[in-house]
Structures are given as structure tokens and as C-alpha cells.
Structure 1
Amino acid sequence: MITELLADLDAESRDLDELVAGAPDWTLATPAEGWTIGHQIGHLMWTDKAAILAIADPEAFRAQPLTADLVDRTAAEAAALPDLLELWRASRSALHEHLAGAHGKIVWFGPPMSPASMATARLMETWAHGQDVADALGVVREPTARIRHVCHIGVRTMGFAFLLNGLAVPEAEVRVELTGPGGESWTWGPEGAENRVSGPALDFSWLVTQRRNRKELAVEAVGPVAEAWVPIAQAFAGPPGGGR
């Protein structure tokens, strides 16, 4: 499983690499307030390195000072590096090797994760920040079957989203039924669940990465738990985002 996940992560990264390598101006603003294309790639590079540290030296990872400006500050510092593209390529390659040989849970900013979950999270982030870059460049990306990983982590983090918003984790399960880019059906949760979420997988991916406004998306929620979850859904670690 980890081999397939890493192959998909590599493919997602290469698609974004091709997009930014051809961008003449990395100072172009993206939809994320205060972030340029350089900030987006810098953040991915920094997070790769953080994941490598978490795998190689968990104690050193835990000892890092977590300041309120950590994400913005490190993205800005990385964006100023003249060789950022090559550094990102190197960090991607190194993380691939570390994840391929990792065992057990990996400490992280959110809950600890298995190597497979970490690979899925890195793919989700690459896809999400790639969306910001594509939006900045006016590029419409064709969705691939790789967004199933984004949907999966979006479903798996439902309870986490409730906790981040100061809410109790619901006991009721939610059935999620999504339509993939090729018309395929992707489902999670018990078939007879009272609470249900459905719609195009691309829209659900935008929802859980908070890359589009909820009102723009064809994501339907039925049942009190589903209706409470959809507005706060997030697939990423850290405090609740402000959305678009």
C-alpha cells in the first residue's frame, strides 16, 4: 500500500512541479492571503523537512518551538530562497525514502500517523497548495483518481474537525458517497447510516481542504451530524481555517 501511495504522491508533486517550473513570476499572489506561489512551494518544502525530522528524530521534532506565526514565517523564509525549486525537489525525494522505510506511528502537529497516513496527508497538502497555485495562474486542473486520497483523509478527520472547533465528536456514523472524476463510486461508512454526505469527489476535496466556498460546491448533507460536519470539515492539521 505504501508503495502505491508514494507513487501517487510523486505523481501529484510532479504535476505541481511542472506547473511552477513554467511560472515566470513566483511572487504572484495566490488566494491564500499574503502567500505568493513561492510561499506555497516553500511551505511544502518546509513540511517535507518537518516530516523527515518526525520520522528520523521524534524527540527533536517534539522539541521544536511552536509559535503562532510558524507556518507563515517559515513559508516566507523559504519563499526568499533563490534555489527553492531544487530544494523542494530534494525534500520530496528524501521524504519518499524516509516514508518507504518508516515503521510505526509518526509524531506530528496533529494526532500521530502511520507512514501510509503521512503519505496521504502529504498528497492532500500537495494537491491543496497546488490548487492555490493553479488559481493564481488561472489554470484549470483536470482532476485525477488521486483525489480519492484527499477525500479519504477528509472523511477520516471528521472527528478531528469537531474537536478543533470545540465540539464533541458525534457517536453517529456518516455515510459518504462521492462520484470520482471517471464516474466511479467512492464510499465510506455504513450503507444504512442516517447521516449522509454526497456529491462530486472534486467538490468534496475542495470542501475538506477549504479551497472553495461551501456555497459553490455541490456537496449535499442529510442528517444532523452530516449537516454539522460539512461547514467545519478540514483535512489538515492545525486550527480551523477561515475558508475562501
Structure 2
Amino acid sequence: MNKFTKKLGALVLSAGLAFSTCPNVFADTPKIDFIDVSHHNNDSGLSLAFYQTIKKSGINAVVIKVSDGQNYLDPAASVNVANAKQAGLIVNAYHYARFKSNAEAKAEAKWFDKKLQLVGFDKSKDGQVVVDVEDPTIYSHVSAASLTEYTNTFIKEMHDLGYSRVDLYTGSAFYNAHLEPKSLSVSEPWLARYPLYPETGQPQPDFSNGKGAWQWSSSYKFVGIPGVFDVSQDFSGKYTNVAKVDNATPTKVVKKIGSFPC
């Protein structure tokens, strides 16, 4: 996601956190329950081999960027959805919010819905649909009370459009300063906070409205896989415990983007 807290994680974690199927060396190091991806990871989408590799390692879910504002579709979304499903991962999806009014919030939700259908997301069988509220141009123009109202409007519109699993992503500081957590229509959100020393697992986000998921790095390096990735721990099970994984919509269409070094 377009993270405002990315710089700290990049400085600390670029030192070489490595992926392994072995237990963490430090017992308090946060877990990797799921990752989130967008065209920033690969303009053409990530390969089937990539998703198969992380699935074998024990990562069972992914959150895929689908849309932004009222007129943007992530160009990698359809490939990421198809290949993640083919690999057997639980597929969740997110929208980057830019709304500054209730009308804009409804319009963005409708855009998100249309693009979810376009890229192959099944509202009845797949996972969470997430509104990513963090854009600095929003909070510089509206109060916390108003932004909370607009966020709730977006969430309600998604429910009205038939999505039963709707969640919020933002940074821990943004959540508590630019929103009113107790007035939000969702609890147990997905929050970002990047600990200076990940092996201690501290500090965690300030979950002031129920403990959900924690994105604890935006620059995690998996051994043998190029690039850096956003990784999260799922405390509430929203992203990794869809009722029956077998019910997640399969796809027989594998989007090939070339070989992948595993």
C-alpha cells in the first residue's frame, strides 16, 4: 500500500530479514500470516510460482490492490487475483481511498465493486474487502469526525453492494489522530506500525477499537525471492480464516508472466 510509514521500515529491515520455513529465531518476532501486493511489486502481476512458493511456506492469504479513487484500476490486479487463487491462497482485496465527502465515498465504493467483479473477486466466497484510508490530502482537508463519517459511508455502501466482510486499513498514528476509532462501524482494524527492532515485536499498533491485523514491515525480504514485501500478522483471523478455504473461488486461468526464480 502507499504507506506513509514506509521509510522507517525500509531503513531498519533492509539490513536483511530473511524468510525461512523454520521457526523465528526470536520468539517475539511478529508472524507472517499474510502479505499485501500491488503493481508496485510487479507491474504485470506476480507469477503463479511466487504464490505457490509462499503457500508452501505456510502463508495462506494475500490482500491485493484493486482500485484507487474513482477512476483507477491497479494494472496487476487481475493477474494477482488469478494466480493467488490458482495457488490456493485466500484472496482479500483493497481500495485506496481519496474521498472527502459522503458522495465521493459512495462513488468510490461503487467503483471498487465494479473493479472487484472485473478482476475475478467473488463477494460471496472470497475474503475481506478493505478501504485503505491514509492519504494525506484527506486529513488536511477534513476533521477526524468527518473522515470517520465518510469512511463509515464507504463501508455501508460496500455492505449494501453485497459484501459481508469489509475492513479498514491505515497506520496506527493516523487511526488514532485522524479518525475516531470508537465511532467507526468496523472494529479490529488492520493497522500498520513498523517496530524499530522487529525481533522484540514492539511497539505494536495502538488498537484502540479491538485488535485486528498488524502490518509490521513494508520491506521484508524473502530468501531467494527478489524485491521487498509488506507482511502482516493476523490476530483476529479476518484475513486467514475464511470459513472454508475450499470455498474460495478457484480459477483455472493461470496468468503467465514468465519464469520466476525460486
Which fold has the larger relative contact order, with Cα–Cα distance below 8 Å and residues 6 or more apart in sequence? 2
Q: Which has the higher strand share?
A: 2
Q: Which has the higher helix share?
A: 1
TM-score (norm 1): 0.28
TM-score (norm 2): 0.27
